[in-house]
């Protein structure tokens, strides 16, 4: 393994934009389908992987929601979460903040307790050895109504002390952040940290709405912000973190190649950019693969890579003491890495 690759894979890192449903590897998907007696049109993991060719966000979401149908029991959600956390640990992730969207399941009759209890149990078990810290962010779906989002918020009350934040994903175009102003205000009042997907396929105005109308703590993706220089300046001034997912952007045709990705430009504008995996099972790239692809194709320096990883820790929804400890692990790794072999 080349030294640069070894360095990047070994870096203590974060993954702050990762959908648990999107970490459902084909082998586990097929296993759960069999256990829950769900008929699929794919007979093997290879056949399923061959379907992972997407024209845009919506064609991906169609397959993503089909995959969600195999998640039925609390044990299913436990196994899904456990598998991602173990894979993330192998990738050097020491802080993961993971999304799950209960509405995909509750609307077809799965109790919300099944979703959340299974997920939280796996997180609790994974954290026992102290090598990874995991926060859970619940996402509302933006193609649904604001009333639906409020119903979800009400359902979450029994777990409020165990949920890190509220996010929002789904089909972006035609569903601007302004549609959910009251919902996000209520989430803020309830004490949740806030994030929203904006500026992936949607325009820069969606990023501005997320910033100015919703007052979110982080913006997921956000790459379209470069269409608006004044917005870029404001994001840089406020250091609002953008959880960018380069391989996702490539696979969903947001960019034609990693070499054409605006990540390096965003760094040059001093934006608080982080690199994340999004839906790694479907897009073929966990946290390290995203960093490696960017380092190679955008000719990032080692200092650039370290800055991106450091940004992940400063953007994480963490207590200051825990953040400082993780940053110390990063700095210690960088200082001790032996480049001579």
Give 315-340 pLDDT, tens digit per residue. 999 999 999 999 999 999 999 999 98
Q: CB of 169 within 8 A of CB of 141?
A: yes
Pull the structure tokens for residue 103: 């509405």
Asked, for residue 317, whether it belongs to a domain, the answer is yes
Any domain includes 341 = no
Q: What is the mean pLDDT of the chain?
A: 96
Q: What is the CATH number of the domain that holds 89?
A: 3.20.20.140
Q: Name the domain count of the chain.
A: 1
Residue 279 lies in a domain: yes
Reading the block at residue 239, the tokens are: 């250091």
Which structural domain, as residue segments, surrounds residue 259? 3-335
CA distance 121 to 107: 23
36 pLDDT higher than 90 = yes
Interatomic CA distance for residues 175 and 146, integer angstroms: 11
pTM: 0.96
6 included as an active-site residue: no
Examine residue 340 and state whether it is found in any structural domain, yes or no: no
297, burial (CB in 10 Å: exposed 0-12, middle 13-18, buried 19+): middle
Report, as an integer, the average pLDDT of 82-102. 97
Asked whether 20 and 84 are in contact (CB, 8 A), the reply is: yes
- In the chain the beta strands, taken as DSSP E runs, fall at 13-19, 93-100, 133-141, 165-169, 193-198, 218-221, 241-244, 272-275
Mean local confidence (pLDDT), 61-77: 93
Among 74, 79, 200, 201, the one annotated catalytic: 200
Please give the structure tokens belonging to residue 96.
């993961």
Structural domain includes residue 78: yes
């Amino acid at each position: 393994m080349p030294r640069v690759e070894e360095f990047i894979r070994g870096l203590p890192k974060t993954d702050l934009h990762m959908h648990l449903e999107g970490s459902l590897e084909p082998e586990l998907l097929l296993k759960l389908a069999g256990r829950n007696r769900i008929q699929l049109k794919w007979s093997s993991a290879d056949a399923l992987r061959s379907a992972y060719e997407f024209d845009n966000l919506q064609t991906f979401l169609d397959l993503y929601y089909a995959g969600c149908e195999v998640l039925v029991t609390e044990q299913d959600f436990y196994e899904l979460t456990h598998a991602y956390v173990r894979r993330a640990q192998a990738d050097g992730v020491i802080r993961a903040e993971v999304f799950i969207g209960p509405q995909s399941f509750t609307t077809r009759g799965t109790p919300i307790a099944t979703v959340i209890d299974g997920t939280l149990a796996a997180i609790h078990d994974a954290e026992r050895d102290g090598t990874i810290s995991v926060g859970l962010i619940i996402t509302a779906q933006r193609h649904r109504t604001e009333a639906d989002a409020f119903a979800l918020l009400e359902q979450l009350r029994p777990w409020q002390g165990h949920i890190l934040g509220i996010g929002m994903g789904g089909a972006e175009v035609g569903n601007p952040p302004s549609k959910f102003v009251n919902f996000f205000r209520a989430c803020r009042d309830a004490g949740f940290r806030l994030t929203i997907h904006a500026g992936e396929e949607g325009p820069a105005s969606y990023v501005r709405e997320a910033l100015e109308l919703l007052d979110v703590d982080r913006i997921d993706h956000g790459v379209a912000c470069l269409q608006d220089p004044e917005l870029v300046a404001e994001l840089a001034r406020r250091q609002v973190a953008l959880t960018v997912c380069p391989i996702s952007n490539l696979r969903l045709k947001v960019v034609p190649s990693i070499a054409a990705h605006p990540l390096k430009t965003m760094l040059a504008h001093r934006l608080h950019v982080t690199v994340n995996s999004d839906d790694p099972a479907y897009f073929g790239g966990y946290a390290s693969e995203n960093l490696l692809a960017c380092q190679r194709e955008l000719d990032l320096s080692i200092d650039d890579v370290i800055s991106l990883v450091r940004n992940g820790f400063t953007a994480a929804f963490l207590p200051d003491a825990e953040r400082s400890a993780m940053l110390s692990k990063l700095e210690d790794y960088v200082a001790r890495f032996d480049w001579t072999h």
